[in-house]
Amino acid sequence: MLKKILVVDDAAFMRMMLKNMLVANGFDVVGEAENGEEAVKKYKSLNPDLVTMDITMPVMEGIDALIQIKEIEPNAKVVMCSAMGQQMMVLKAIQAGAKDFIVKPFQEERVLQSINKVLGA
């Protein structure tokens, strides 16, 4: 069965790049969100197996969305995405319950390694 993934990033280009990478490797991208608030709503309605979550977004930051998603589903699997130089944010995200993080620009091998590790594939 295909693993369902929710892709969250405020940049449409980044969402498209990640979505294409995931679909090409056998994942089902069930939804996209461009901010944390939308991510939480879509998480509730789509119940994905995994969420890729950008850290820096308008309306609601990725870490706040992560915390809310963890309140809804303590076992939620969330992989944070961050630009270079956001080490403190990444640390905060891991403490808030993120399972892993991937750095932008995305490298397909690293993205797949992280997602497969978190999903236990």
Span 45-97, pLDDT tens digits: 999 999 999 999 999 999 999 999 999 999 999 999 988 777 788 889 999 99
Confidence band for 29, pLDDT divided at 50, 70 and 90: very high
Query: The tokens of 68 are what?
Result: 């809310």
Confidence band for 119, pLDDT divided at 50, 70 and 90: very high
Total of domains in the chain? 1
pLDDT tens for 97-114 read 999 999 988 999 999 999
- List the domain range (segments joined by +) for residue 72: 4-119
All residues at 6 or more sequence positions from 110 whose CB lies less than 8 Å from its CB, including other chains: 102, 103
Report yes or no: 114 and 102 within 8 Å, Cβ to Cβ: yes
pLDDT, residue 87, reads: 78
Measure the CA dihedral 89/90/94/100, to 10°.
Answer: 150
Over residues 38-44, the mean pLDDT reads: 98
pLDDT, residue 4, reads: 98
Query: What CATH number corresponds to the domain at position 80?
Result: 3.40.50.2300
